[in-house]
């Protein structure tokens, strides 16, 4: 270090030094720990409360799902056009043929041949099925042989009668000459009389044999199933190889019928009319028939018969309505609706005017307002409606319903808008 450097004055700040050692441990305030602990408890409480709320909400939803729903019956709101809208009575029923029969054999046996299928047209007397009858063929052949044998016996006996007649004539001529005795003459006479009597017996035997042939032929004919009238085969009740037993009640006792035929040219509706409205139905009254399987088509009908017997349990009377313009689309057991018209001579309503009808039991009064309850997705909705004519358990809807809706029949008084319900048939 030079002399010049020693002569310079020292900076007093340069001589200052801070003694550094290990850093002391910081001291924490007790109040800060309590705050954090309280905050932790608050957070845990909020989380627990949320979980509890979610749990109880889920449990409430599950319990609510198992809560029994109110059961209600529903019916459809219908749209009618033409004269059906003015019908005095409406009834449902099923198509049937006036002539329909289950055709079976008149004797037990096994089916050997079936000549028809479903839908086949048949005529009266046509062979439908044939049962095995080989044994009957043999019996018939034996009876016919007996007839031939009996007839041959008659021919033989005729020769014997002629022979005895000549011998008796010869004896009569010889007796005056004493060439033969009285005893020989009597013997010749008795032999001739016996031959004649035997001829009568043989003729009776021929008649008996012929009767047995006819009997055997009838027994064989019982093996053939024939159509009793013109019609259409609507079902085959048995197949080749199955046994047929007249009056059979199932597979255990043998089938009772082979084929069912029906005369499809004479179809009619078999429907039940409520006792309250049977006074509006009369024989020969016109009607319209709507078949569910033929939408958009109305068939002409005519009341053929009102059965004079009521159903006590259902409070209905059975009515037969003949269809006068049936076509090939109609078959027995199809369901449909019959609209009994007010007057056969009344003018037809405008076919373009649509009228909406609802079951009267679905309309309720709420003060001066008429309401109906519709059902969709198992929830009910309150609809205000305006009604028109009422009759035959149905009410015309002028406003509020468009047709096709399902409405609650006889709605309970405690029904609420939007309430979930269970629909029962």
Is residue 260 within 8 A of residue 104, CB to CB? The reply is no
pLDDT the model gives residue 397: 85
Distance CA(205)–CA(212), nearest Å, equals: 10
Within 20-133, residue ranges assigned H as helices are: 30-66
Is residue 102 within 8 A of residue 260, CB to CB? The reply is yes
Is residue 143 within 8 A of residue 213, CB to CB? The reply is yes
pLDDT the model gives residue 55: 58
- pLDDT tens, position by position, 191-219: 888 888 888 888 888 899 999 999 988 98
Name the pTM for this structure. Answer: 0.55
Confidence class for position 305, pLDDT limits 50, 70, 90: very high
- pLDDT tens, position by position, 47-102: 877 776 665 555 444 444 555 678 888 888 877 766 666 677 888 899 999 888 88
Domain range 88-98+266-340, its CATH number among 2.60.40.1120, 3.40.50.300, 2.40.30.170, 3.30.300.30: 2.40.30.170
**CATH T-level assignment (fold) for domain 71-77+353-424:** 2.40.420
Distance CA(362)–CA(265), nearest Å, equals: 40
pLDDT the model gives residue 15: 54
Of 22-26, 122-126, 284-288, least confident by mean pLDDT is: 22-26
Say what angle helices 134-174 and 182-221 make with each other, to 10 degrees: 160
Per-chain mean pLDDT for the chain: 80
Higher pLDDT, 30 or 391: 391
- pLDDT tens, position by position, 18-55: 555 555 555 555 556 667 777 777 788 788 777 766 65
CA distances from 114 to 110, 127, 313 (A): 11, 9, 43
- pLDDT tens, position by position, 139-194: 889 988 988 888 888 888 888 888 888 888 888 888 787 777 788 878 888 888 88
- Range 200-226 burial, b when 16+ CB lie within 10 A, else e: eebeebbeebbebbeebeebbebbebe
Say whether pLDDT at 269 is over 90: yes
Is residue 107 within 8 A of residue 246, CB to CB? The reply is yes
Kindly list the domain boundaries of the chain, sorted by start residue.
71-77+353-424, 88-98+266-340, 100-127+232-262, 134-221
């Amino acid at each position: 270090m030079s002399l010049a450097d020693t002569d310079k004055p020292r900076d007093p700040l340069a001589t200052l030094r801070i003694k550094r050692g290990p850093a002391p441990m910081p001291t924490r305030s007790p109040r800060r720990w309590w705050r954090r602990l309280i905050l932790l408890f608050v957070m845990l409480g909020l989380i627990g409360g949320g979980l509890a709320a979610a749990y109880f909400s889920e449990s409430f939803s599950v319990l609510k799902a198992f809560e029994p729903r109110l059961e209600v019956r529903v019916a459809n709101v219908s749209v009618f056009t033409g004269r059906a809208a003015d019908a005095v009575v409406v009834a449902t029923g099923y198509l049937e043929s006036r002539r329909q029969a289950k055709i079976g054999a008149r004797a037990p046996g096994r089916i050997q041949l079936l000549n028809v299928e479903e839908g086949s047209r048949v005529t009266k007397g046509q062979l439908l099925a044939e049962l095995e009858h080989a044994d009957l063929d043999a019996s018939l052949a034996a009876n016919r042989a007996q007839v031939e044998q009996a007839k041959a016996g008659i021919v033989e006996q005729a020769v014997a009668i002629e022979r005895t007649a000549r011998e008796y004539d010869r004896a009569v001529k010889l007796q005056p000459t004493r060439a033969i005795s009285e005893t020989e003459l009597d013997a010749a006479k008795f032999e001739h009389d016996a031959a004649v009597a035997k001829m009568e017996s043989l003729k009776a035997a021929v008649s008996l044999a012929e009767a047995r042939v006819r009997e055997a032929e009838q027994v064989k004919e019982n093996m053939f199933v024939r159509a009793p009238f013109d019609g259409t085969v609507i079902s085959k009740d048995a197949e080749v190889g199955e046994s047929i037993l007249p009056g059979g009640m199932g597979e255990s006792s043998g089938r009772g019928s082979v084929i069912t035929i029906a005369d499809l040219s004479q179809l009619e509706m078999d429907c039940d009319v409520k006792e309250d409205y049977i006074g509006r139905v009369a024989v020969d009254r016109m009607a319209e028939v709507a078949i569910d399987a033929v939408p958009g088509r109305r068939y002409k009908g005519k009341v053929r018969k009102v059965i004079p017997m009521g159903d006590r349990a259902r409070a209905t009377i059975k009515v037969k309505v003949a269809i006068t313009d049936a076509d090939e689309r109609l078959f027995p057991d199809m369901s449909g609706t019959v609209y009994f018209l007010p007057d056969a001579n009344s003018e037809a309503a405008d076919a373009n005017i649509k009228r909406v009808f609802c079951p009267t039991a679905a309309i309720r009064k709420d003060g001066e307002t008429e309401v109906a309850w519709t059902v969709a997705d198992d929830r009910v909705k309150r609809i205000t409606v305006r009604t028109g004519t009422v009759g035959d358990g149905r009410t015309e809807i002028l406003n509020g319903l468009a047709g096709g809706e399902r409405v609650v029949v006889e709605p309970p008084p405690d029904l609420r808008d939007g309430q979930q319900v269970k629909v029962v048939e």
